[in-house]
Amino acid sequence: MGKYLEMIRIRFLMMLAYRTNYYTGILIYSINIGAYYFLWNAIYSGKSEIEGLSAVQMTTYVAVSWMARAFYFNNIDREMAMEIKEGKVAVELIRPYSYMVMKTMQGLGEGIFRLFFFSLPGMVIVALIFPMEFSGDAATWGLFGLSILLSFMINTQLNLLTGITTFFLYNNAGLIRAKRVIIELLSGLLLPISFFPLWAQDVMRFLPFQGISYIPSMIFTEGFTGQEALQGIFTQAVWVILLVFPVRLLWIAAKKRLVIQGG
């Protein structure tokens, strides 16, 4: 366990070292949230609520979705693709740790860094500029914390899956990009899932993506409370467990391929 914690720490330090990234990051997230705020204002244009969310709730939803994204989002799929192509993965395999867990920990280190140095200050800045509602209920905050941790797990597992495909496709940049746009739409980052037509919502209920953004953001904005919130977290947990299987299977297949073909 110690080595994995160390990896989190190292990543955290690495992130701190990239200073320009840090300054521009906050600025860009703020512009992003700002633009969405106005877009949604134009969409609401006087309506008090759409699909059960008020305009203020909607702004909060957008802001918290993007800030939570800073936590769960990482590029480990791209990093894996790079390591695999350059043959570095063989070296990783002879090290005394699990490559999959190590990658997850790197992602977590990055996520924790962004949560504290991006999302929290960013959220304060955004909250000063745009009207938002924050819950005073400790339970909501607690559930939200648990929920974004689960989002991180789901998103990371999907990243691992796409990363491993590099073993089978020579160049998977396209796949990585496709995964990103799919997650942006189907996770509820761009639009709350309740805005979609009913049939689409029915389909999305059976996909893991809503667990990445929609559920934690709804919990935060108190669009989900009590029973609904717990149910959401349960769904997330189920997906975390379910996704373990394809990740393991694909990884075993990839290792076999590595052994046979020598990368």
Residues that bind another protein (CB under 8 A): 9, 12-13, 16-22, 24-25, 28-29, 31-32, 34-35, 38-39, 41-45, 47, 50-51, 75, 169-175, 177-178, 180-182, 184-185, 190-191, 195-197
Kindly state the smallest distance separating residue 196's Cβ from another protein, in Å.
6
- Please, which residue, 147 or 213, has the CB nearer to another protein? 213
**Residue the block writes with tokens 């894996």:** 80
Closest CA to 245 of 157, 152, 175: 157
Dihedral angle, C-alpha 167, 169, 174, 180, nearest 10 °: -40
User: Of 80 and 143, which has the nearer Cβ to another protein?
Assistant: 80
- In the complex with another protein, the residue whose CB is nearer, 141 or 196, is 196
**Nearest-approach distance from CB 9 to another protein, in angstroms:** 8
Q: What b/e readout covers 113-150, taking b as 16+ CB neighbours within 10 angstroms?
A: bbbebbbeebbeebeeebebeebeeeebeebbebbbbb
* DSSP string computed for 51-81: TTEEHHHHHHHHHHHHHHHHHH---HHHHHH
Give the burial class of 258: count Cβ atoms within 10 A of its Cβ; 0-12 exposed, 13-18 middle, 19 or more buried.
Answer: middle
Q: How far is the CB of 44 from another protein (least distance, A)?
A: 8
Q: Which is nearer to another protein, 56 or 146 (CB)?
A: 56
Q: Which is nearer to another protein, 176 or 240 (CB)?
A: 176
Nearest distance from C-beta of residue 238 to another protein, angstroms: 26
Q: How far is the CB of 25 from another protein (least distance, A)?
A: 7
- Report how far residue 190's alpha carbon sits from residue 44's, in angstroms, rounded to the nearest whole number: 15
How far apart CA 108 and CA 64 sit, in angstroms, is 19
Eight-state DSSP code of residue 257: H
- Give the residue with the Cβ less far from another protein, 93 or 173: 173
Q: Helix (H, G, I), strand (E, B), or coil: what is residue 20?
A: helix
Could you give the CA distance from residue 211 to residue 148 in angstroms, rounded to a whole number? 9
- Give least dist CB 32 to another protein, A: 5
At its nearest, how many Å lie between another protein and the CB of residue 167? 14
Closest CB to another protein among residues 3, 177: 177
